[in-house]
Structure 1
Amino acid sequence: MPLTPADSALFGTLFSQPEVAALFSDEAYVRRLLEVEGALAAVQGRLGIIPPESAGAILQLTRTFSPDLGQLREGLLTDGVPVSALLGQLRPALPAPARDHLHFGATTQDIVDTASVLAAREALGVLRRELLAVGDRLAELSQAHAGTLMPGRTHSQQALPVTFGLKAAGWLTPITRHLERLRELEGRLYVVSFGGAAGTLAALEDRGLDVAEALAAELGLSAPPTPWHTQRDTILELAAWLTGVGTSLGKLAQDMILLAQSEVGEVREGGGGGGSSTMPQKQNPITSEVILAAASTNAGLLAAVARSGVQEHERGTHGWQVEWLTVPQMLGLTGAALAHTRRLLGALEVQAQRMRENVQASHGLMLAEALSFALTAVLPREEAKALIRDAVPQALAGKGHLVELVREQLGHLGDRVDWAALTEERTLGATAPLISRAVEQYHGTRLHRPTHRQRTPPEENS
């Protein structure tokens, strides 16, 4: 197994999402570095900071240049980042007057951080689409199974009757919140990094802020009040969001594993997968297991990202590199978890009859709370509870239905109890409106379009 399974040709199908993975290839990374360098030259040319001829030559070269990745690797060993080596390859390909205008007034971290923001923006676009697909399916399941009766469980024990639609609505509501959080996060994350050597933009004298604003607009980003070379809170916010999405998907997957147990049998993953090499009767919940693995890994990586944010003065030491080791992996794992969840929900087999059988097999024990409230019409609350407690062992032993056992004990006192209301279907409380609220809130959030700036197409900048 490779050091990072997500990058493996074999294991990558489990632990990465193809579109997200493609965004973090070496070639894609270098293309974004070139994109930022080209955009910087373009805006500086328009602002009169460098000659227009130099700006045009740099922009054209960054759009067509094919770097030598081998030389970039050698530069990485020396400089820790590939930018210096990339600039070393670009300059000889430029007209002599333009060479000094390449990367003018910027520092390496400006280029790398801005390129990373561009990558995150593309990746989050994919994750948003997958998140919406998951949300759409959960909304469908919520409504389609609004009346599909099943046991509700607390502390892994049967508690009260619920419906599968309500369970699906419970999975849906955090998806809605994650969409809301993403919209807020994007406003803070999609910002240009441009501060120069020590965050003062001194090399550009009084034009530094003009360049920062123009560069941001060129790339469809915003310009923050101050450079963020060592202020990494938005990177941590991104990592926390990714972890939160994984946690919500992991909760769904954990529920699926429990519901699919042989003794429970209320759902099946579907698709015919998850077979055992030696036990042909089994269908293992492999998809749910992979979702949980991705969620658990992201939770561990979050701690590293949090620690990496403690950086020194105006330029940090190792924290930056920790982000490279963690954040792309977290984006990939979240993409994989979302894609697996979408496929899981698309092929899910809801065993409605088995759910009902499991309710019936409880012999009315899930009606204990409702029965207790109903008996207060004829008995004090404590006496009602005591009567039910005495009848529970008999129901557990299969000697009758809890409601009927209690009814027999009451005799004529039970004439004032509404026994017809004591069924699982009639003790679902606010289930229907709760489902409606969850679905309506999701659809309202779904229709709210992102507000972050979009980049002007490159042909309009030339």
Structure 2
Amino acid sequence: MALSLAEGHITKSLFGDAELSVLFSESAEVRAMLLVEGALATAQGEIGIIPKESALVINSMVRDVLIDPGTLADGMAKDGIVVPSLVAGFVAAMEASAEGKGHAGFVHKGATSQDIQDTGLVLRLRRVFDLFDQRMVGLLDTFRDQAVTYRSMPMAARTRHQLATPTALGARIAGWGIPFVRHRKRLEQMRERVLVLSLGGASGNLSAFEGHGFALADAMAEELGLFVPDVPWHSARDGIMEFANLCGLICGSLGKVAQDLLFSAQISDGLWAGAAGGSSTMPHKANPTGAEVMLALARQGHGLVAQISGAAIHAQERDGAAWSQEWLALPSLVVATGAALQHAQELMGSLQVDMGAMAQVLDDTNGLMMAEAASFALAKHMALSDARILVKSACAKAVKSGEHLREVLARETVLAIDLDAVFDVGNALGESGTIVDRFSAAITSDV
């Protein structure tokens, strides 16, 4: 296996996410940080911290300069952060050009490496937010289509891994989908707390900006299309932690869908999603590869959230160890979450339902799944507690004899209850249809 399954040639089609991985490539990081340097210069030129002409030249050159990430490796090894060598490389490029010579001394004035790197990260997270939202919109559309299609399709519900009562497949799908309505709201609400400019200077108190620190932050944020921080946030990582937690919530919701699909594959209850993977030696096998990978990615995401939670504890004004731990975990978390979202879309889009198999699961219980309905019907004529005792006894006899519960109840009670209505599966679906309708409405109102 490759060191990173998300990048390995053999494994990246399952565990990777090309759209998101490119945002965390070295070239994308370099490009983002150069854009931050350009915005810094532009804002300083507007305020008068550096000459306006120098600001224009710097902002122009950051968009055209090409810096090979490989040339920054030695500096990273020495400094533990890439920004000093990036700035040095950009300054050298300016000094080597007719346009830039004479203006290079105004690059990176007053900023610290963390300002540049954190803001470069936020610029890329902005695109991550957009991609996550687009994917959840597509996934919700698919959930809604499937929920509506199977709005009244009876299936066996299960509680604590045991057969419970009949429900509708549409209601189960609505239950899968509704968390993503909330996840979209969470994502939108946290933009102003996560997609925030970082600017603090050496020790986070803006001391190098000649009293113009907050005005500079306002101007930089406007240039970059980011939100303005209330105060510098070098060692206050709650925004990063909040986003990581949302990734964990998304992974949890996706993992639940995958787990349910895997259980259906195990018991062959008529519900299947995704292309089947074959066995090297058992011709009859059809392995639920997509759901397996989606669950694995969800679990991996939860582990990475825990790492970022630990990294949120930053010491003093800057903490290199905690910051490095964040670097190790965050890109992998984003890619795992994004890849799981892609698998979910593929799986739900390929959902297959065997109506006969689903009906057979209900029939095979010999009416035991209607025991609750029988209790409530009898409770119209006796205390509910007594009705439950009677039905529980009838269930035991039905299991022992192999009879249908209806036959046992007909023999055991002389009460005038409508057994046809009690054992009509359609009457046991409750408000499943309304659940589907409310789910659909929630999606519509969220748009």
Fold shared by both chains (TM-score > 0.5): yes
Q: Distance in 2 between matches of 1:229 and 1:35?
A: 19
Q: Distance in 1 between matches of 2:20 and 2:274?
A: 26
- Cα offsets for 1:382-419 (capped at 9, x unmatched): 332222122213332463321232022223x32xx233
Residue 219 and residue 390 in structure 1: after superposition, are their counterparts in 2 closer, same or farther (change >3 A)? same
* 2:326 alignment counterpart: 323
* 1:200 alignment counterpart: 205
Deviation at 1:151, TM superposition (A): 0.4
Q: Distance in 1 between matches of 2:30 and 2:383?
A: 76
Instruction: Identify which of 409, 412, 423 aligns with 2:412.
Output: 409
Q: Distance in 2 between matches of 1:302 and 1:377?
A: 52
* 2:315 alignment counterpart: 312
Q: Residue 269 of structure 1 contacts residue 349 of structure 1 at CA under 8 Å; is this kept in 2?
A: yes
Question: Residue 373 in 1 paired to residue 376 in 2?
Answer: yes
Q: Residue 42 of structure 1 contacts residue 55 of structure 1 at CA under 8 Å; is this kept in 2?
A: yes
Q: Residue 363 of structure 1 contacts residue 398 of structure 1 at CA under 8 Å; is this kept in 2?
A: no
Q: Distance in 2 between matches of 1:198 and 1:190?
A: 21
Residue 380 and residue 87 in structure 1: after superposition, are their counterparts in 2 closer, same or farther (change >3 A)? closer
Instruction: Identify which of 266, 274, 285 aligns with 2:270.
Output: 266
* 1:385 alignment counterpart: 388
Question: Residue 97 in 1 paired to residue 102 in 2?
Answer: yes
Worse overlay, 193-202 or 123-132: 123-132
Please give the residue correspondences for 1:190-339 in structure 2 after superposition, counting only pairs within 5 Å: 190-261=195-266, 263-271=267-275, 273-339=276-342
Q: Residue 91 of structure 1 contacts residue 99 of structure 1 at CA under 8 Å; is this kept in 2?
A: yes
- Cα offsets for 1:4-61 (capped at 9, x unmatched): 2112122111112110011111111111011111111112222222112211211121
Q: Residue 287 of structure 1 contacts residue 340 of structure 1 at CA under 8 Å; is this kept in 2?
A: yes
Q: Distance in 2 between matches of 1:364 and 1:398?
A: 13
3-state SS, counterpart of residue 384 of structure 1: helix
* 2:81 alignment counterpart: 81
Residue 376 and residue 265 in structure 1: after superposition, are their counterparts in 2 closer, same or farther (change >3 A)? closer
- Cα offsets for 1:158-191 (capped at 9, x unmatched): 1110011000000011111111111112121010
3-state SS, counterpart of residue 81 of structure 1: coil
Deviation at 1:264, TM superposition (A): 2.8
3-state SS, counterpart of residue 153 of structure 1: strand
3-state SS, counterpart of residue 162 of structure 1: strand
- Cα offsets for 1:106-160 (capped at 9, x unmatched): 1100000000011111112111111111111111111110111000101111111
Q: Residue 421 of structure 1 contacts residue 427 of structure 1 at CA under 8 Å; is this kept in 2?
A: no
Q: Distance in 1 between matches of 2:401 and 2:176?
A: 34
* 1:48 alignment counterpart: 48
Q: Residue 147 of structure 1 contacts residue 163 of structure 1 at CA under 8 Å; is this kept in 2?
A: yes
3-state SS, counterpart of residue 161 of structure 1: strand
Letter of the 1:153 partner, please give it: R
* 2:436 alignment counterpart: 435
Q: Distance in 1 between matches of 2:89 and 2:18?
A: 30
* 1:131 alignment counterpart: 136
* TM-score, L = length of structure 1: 0.93
Q: Distance in 1 between matches of 2:326 and 2:349?
A: 34
* 1:421 alignment counterpart: 421
Deviation at 1:235, TM superposition (A): 0.7
Q: Distance in 2 between matches of 1:188 and 1:175?
A: 20
Deviation at 1:237, TM superposition (A): 0.7
* 1:189 alignment counterpart: 194
Q: Distance in 1 between matches of 2:429 and 2:42?
A: 64
* 1:118 alignment counterpart: 123
Q: Distance in 2 between matches of 1:401 and 1:385?
A: 17
Letter of the 2:8 partner, please give it: S
Residue 410 and residue 52 in structure 1: after superposition, are their counterparts in 2 closer, same or farther (change >3 A)? same
Q: Distance in 1 between matches of 2:18 and 2:401?
A: 53
Residue 203 and residue 382 in structure 1: after superposition, are their counterparts in 2 closer, same or farther (change >3 A)? closer
* 1:451 alignment counterpart: none
Q: Distance in 2 between matches of 1:301 and 1:331?
A: 10
* 1:351 alignment counterpart: 354
* 1:160 alignment counterpart: 165
Letter of the 1:269 partner, please give it: A
CA RMSD of aligned residues (A): 1.4
3-state SS, counterpart of residue 318 of structure 1: helix
Q: Which runs of 4+ in 1 moved over 3 A?
A: none
Q: Distance in 1 between matches of 2:242 and 2:274?
A: 35
* TM-score, L = length of structure 2: 0.96
- Structure 1 runs not aligned, ≥5 long: 448-462
Letter of the 2:433 partner, please give it: A
- Structure 2 runs not aligned, ≥5 long: 95-99
Letter of the 1:191 partner, please give it: V
3-state SS, counterpart of residue 156 of structure 2: strand
